[in-house]
Amino acid sequence: MQFFAFILIYPILWLISILPFRLLYLFSDFICFLIYRIVKYRKKTVRENLALALPHLTREERNVIEKKFYQHMCDLFLEMIKTMTISDAEINKRFVFKNIDVLRNLEKKGKSIALLTGHYASYEWVISMNRILEIKGIAIYKRIRNKYFDKLVRDIRSRFKAYLITTKETATVMAENNAKNELCIYGFAGDQSPKSNAVHWNTFMGIETPIHTGAEFLSKRFDMNVVYLEVQKVKRGYYEATFEILSEDVKSVPDYEITDTFIRKLEQQILKAPEYYLWTHKRWKYRR
C-alpha cells in the first residue's frame, strides 16, 4: 500500500517541482484557498496558538496574521517540493547566507557545530548551505511513516550534501562521529514540543511550557560550538539567513542558559513577523 501511494503521488510532486516560480505561487494561492477556506486545516489549533502567544493583539489583528500564515505555509510546502528539481543558481538567488564566514571560521577550530533554529520562515532551504561548507551537514528529523517518501526526502537532501538522522539516532551518530574525529554541523529545530515530564520549563511567548534541552546537552557532551540561525523572509520566495555564535566554550555555560537564549531569540523573530512561524503544530500542548 505504501509503494502504491508513492507511485501515485510522486509524478504529481515532480510535475509541481518543475513549475516556474510564477506558476508555482499561483498554484499556492489556489491550494491556500482550499486549505484555509474549504478544508480549514488545523484552523482551530492555529487560532488557539495565536490567542495564547499573542494575547496583546485584537482578534481582528490575529485574523490578519492567520490568513498571512496560511499563505506562507502553502508557499513553504510547495517550495519544499520545488527542492526536488531546483538549480543551484536558483536557490543561491532565493536563499542568501549573509555571513557564512561565521561558520567557515568555526570550521577551522576543530570542533563540530550545533546549529539551533526554529520552525520559522524557510527552515527547509537551510540545507543549501552544505554545498558551500567543508564540514559535513546533518539534519535531525522525524522519520516519515511511508518508507518510500522517507527515502525521497533523504534523496532530496543529499542533492545539497545534507544527511538526515532521526531523533533516536542522534546521540549514537554523534558519538560515532566524535570517536572518528569527523567534524559535522548538526541542525536542531529546538522549538518542538517535548513530553510533559521534560526536565526544563520556561516561558515561550509568555507561556510556561517544557523546553527541549537536547541540543544544549549534546553540545556539552561532545564539546561543540553552538550557533543560532535566524532566517528572515524578505519577500515571497526570497529569504536571508544570519548566523550568531552562542558559545565557543559550551561547557563553561551554566545549564539551560543556551536553551533559554535560543528561545528568547526565536521569540524576537516571531514577534517581528508572526505570520512566518509554524502555528499548526501544538507547541503548547503541555503548559502550566
Which residues pair with residue 226 across a beta bridge? Answer: 114, 247
Contacts of 287 (CB under 8 A, 6+ apart): 52, 207, 208, 209
Q: What is the pLDDT, as a whole number, of residue 165?
A: 87
Any idea what DSSP says for residue 54?
A: -
**Residue 201 is assigned to a structural domain of this protein:** yes
**Residue 286 is assigned to a structural domain of this protein:** no
**Residue 282 is assigned to a structural domain of this protein:** no
The C-alpha torsion from 83 through 85 and 88 to 92, rounded to 10°, is: -40
Contacts of 88 (CB under 8 A, 6+ apart): 131
Q: What is the pLDDT, as a whole number, of residue 78?
A: 94
Q: What is the pLDDT, as a whole number, of residue 167?
A: 85
Q: pLDDT 10s digit of each residue in the chain, 288 long?
A: 766 777 778 888 899 999 999 999 999 999 999 999 999 999 999 999 999 999 999 999 999 999 999 999 999 999 989 999 999 899 999 999 999 999 999 999 999 999 999 999 998 898 888 888 888 999 887 777 777 667 777 777 777 778 888 888 999 999 999 999 999 999 998 888 777 667 899 999 999 999 999 999 999 999 999 999 999 999 999 999 999 999 999 999 999 999 999 999 999 999 999 999 999 988 898 887
**Residue 173 is assigned to a structural domain of this protein:** yes
- How many separate domains does the chain show? 1
The C-alpha torsion from 90 through 91 and 94 to 95, rounded to 10°, is: -160
**Residue 284 is assigned to a structural domain of this protein:** no
**129 alpha-carbon distance from chain centroid:** 14
**Residue 198 is assigned to a structural domain of this protein:** yes
Structural domain including 72 reads 2-276
**Residue 129 is assigned to a structural domain of this protein:** yes
Which residues pair with residue 242 across a beta bridge? Answer: 230
**Residue 285 is assigned to a structural domain of this protein:** no
**167: helix, coil or strand?**
helix
The predicted model scores a pTM of: 0.92
Q: What is the pLDDT, as a whole number, of residue 144?
A: 73
